[in-house]
Amino acid sequence: QRHLISAADLTRDDAVLILDTAEEMARVADRPIKKLPTLRGRTVVNLFFEDSTRTRISFEAAEKRLSADVINFSAKGSSVSKGESLKDTAQTLEAMGVDAVVIRHGASGAPYRLATSDWIDAVVINAGDGTHQHPTQALLDAFTMRRRLVGRDAGLGQDLAGRRVTVVGDVLHSRVARSNVDLLHTLGAEVTLVAPPTLLPVGIESWPCEVSYDLDAALPKSDAVMMLRVQRERMNAAFFPTEREYSRRYGLDGDRMARMPEHAIVMHPGPMVRGMEITAEVADSPRCTVVEQVANGVSIRMAVLYLLLGGNEPAVTHTRTEEK
Ligand code: CP
């Protein structure tokens, strides 16, 4: 059984295969009729226990472009509010004939539990779990960097060796940061995390990246700067940084952006909080790839679904349990 649970499970060849397949999928998106028959007759459920705009909608778009039947499940308004467990929810959905489950959950490890239990037989794709992983976000970010920094055609078969990526902000609560560090390291990029000491996780020394508290020093050495949102919903109110102090030290404004090399891009996984980690001037500048990242997310999710459910292709990933 193949799943996509963590960016750390992907080898360099797995990741490059997904990025190259996503380039093929992007060509489908450029056509007047944006559909492939690949997943006709297969059913995918989008199981969302946490809010989402980009990930939920782009998975749905990707599934529909591959002609899958799509079931959307949101915990809000479901029997989860009556106390139904993840196991019972998943088994209820599988009883209706589901081939793949795309799951977002507030608990780190929920997709791994689903994939490694004997509760269901479906393929499991992690759409973000707690502060743990968001592998398709890391893949769409790598795809965006490869296109912008290497080139759309020149990038085919290539990784991100030697590219310098700076990730800025609330690393402590960010599954996006964790997934990006794992995948960018696998693809040969050099990653620097810039964050206040209070927003770095315990054990950061063992991550395959540098850590800095000085954004101004990191900017001139960056090919891509990825801004993160301060995730207030995961914090005790007593630990909220003040907006003014945070943006003064860790926010990206026009003056700071001018310190970046001319070719360097500004990224953000969204949702952005304009005025906190990024000013409107930067968010709306041509150097900011936030909207491009969303478009690329559809191609990446098509590629992942195609490789996991499409049939004869080589495995793109497997769970850590199977590796042991
Ligand atoms: N980047 C991201 O995961 O956004 P959503 O929470 O809107 O899906």
Q: Which residues are bridge partners to 166 per DSSP?
A: 192, 225
Element (H, E) at 45: strand 43-48
Q: Is the peptide bond before 271 cis (omega within 30 degrees of 0)?
A: yes
CB of 106 closer than 6 A to ligand 1? no
116 is in an annotated binding site: no
Task: Work out the pLDDT band at 320, boundaries 50, 70, 90.
Answer: very low
| 54 is an annotated ligand-binding site residue | yes
Domain limits at 269? 135-290
Ligand 1 atom at shortest distance from the alpha carbon of 55? 8
pLDDT digits (tens, 9 = 90+) for 104-128: 999 999 999 999 999 999 999 999 9
pTM for the predicted model, two decimal places? 0.94
pLDDT tens for residues 35-65? Answer: 999 999 999 999 999 999 999 999 999 999 9
Element (H, E) at 17: helix 12-29
At 258-268, the pLDDT tens digits run: 999 999 999 99
Helices then strands, each counted (H, E), the chain: 12, 9
Complex ipTM tops 0.95 = yes
Report the residue among 55, 57, 60, 173 best suited for mutation to probe ligand 1: largest number of ligand atoms under 8 A from its CB.
55
Q: Do 76 and 127 share a domain, yes or no?
A: yes
Sequence-ordered list of residues with C-beta below 8 angstroms from that of 126, at least 6 positions apart, any chain: 3, 4, 5, 6, 103, 111, 112, 133, 134, 135, 136
Compute, in angstroms, the gap from residue 255 CA to the centroid of ligand 1.
Answer: 28
> Is 137 assigned a ligand-binding role in the annotation?
yes
Could you tell me if 47 and 27 lie in one domain? yes
Query: Which numbered atom of ligand 1 lies nearest the CA of 57?
Result: 8
Same-domain status, 121 and 207: no
- The Cα–Cα gap between 249 and 67 comes to 47
User: Does 89 participate in catalysis according to the annotation?
Assistant: no
Q: How many CA atoms lie within 13 A of 289 on its CB side?
A: 26
256 plus 147 within the same structural domain: yes
Q: Ligand 1 pocket check: which of 53, 60, 180, 234 to mutate, most ligand atoms within 8 Å of Cβ? A: 53
Dihedrals φ, ψ of 270, to 5°? 75, 155
Question: Quick check: is 34 catalytic?
Answer: no
Position 1 in a domain: no
CATH number of domain containing 78: 3.40.50.1370
**How many independent structural domains does the chain possess?**
2
